[in-house]
Amino acid sequence: MAINNADKKVILYEDEEGHCPVESFLDRLDDSAKAKIAARIEFLGRYWRQVRRPLVDYLEDGLYELRVQFAKDKVRVIFAYMFKDYIVLLHAIVKRTARVPENDKLIAQQRRIHFEKLVREGRVRLR
């Protein structure tokens, strides 16, 4: 699934079985939460050059977090800028600690590496 924008194309990472972890995460949320996150993703794709904290923050090793605050929940969508024209959404969590847990950053990093491999091998075509 891709969301087309003026500057960057936002892509949801999918594994080889077609499972999309960010989409599965979003499906568990209520409609208003999904709508708010979708609006932030759209904004990120369109205005990626200008977005800074508190909307987006750099994590490490090419990973960034899209930050969405609800009444008591902090949702984080971990993404990477890839292949010049793409933002790949890799992982999403409800953040319950002061920092994004290392395990979640590791999952996102592994997915980023896997996605790069799929593109290099021609198993994923970027449009």
Q: What is the pLDDT of residues 105-120, one digit of tens each?
A: 999 999 999 999 999 9
- pLDDT at residue 24 tops 80: yes
For the chain, domain boundaries: 2-120
Residues 6 or more apart whose CB falls under 8 angstroms from that of 93 comprise 25, 75, 76, 78, 100, 101, 104
Residue 1, amino acid = M
* Contacts for 70 with CB less than 8 Å, ≥ 6 apart: 33, 36
Tokens encoding 78: 């971990």
The one-letter code for the residue type at 72 is K
What is the spatial distance between Cα 24 and Cα 91, in angstroms, rounded to a whole number?
10
pLDDT in tens, 67-89: 999 878 899 999 999 988 899 99
- Global pTM reads 0.90
CATH topology of domain 2-120: YaeB-like fold (3.30.2310)
Q: Tell me the pLDDT tens digit for each residue of 32-71.
A: 999 999 999 999 999 998 888 989 999 999 999 999 998 7
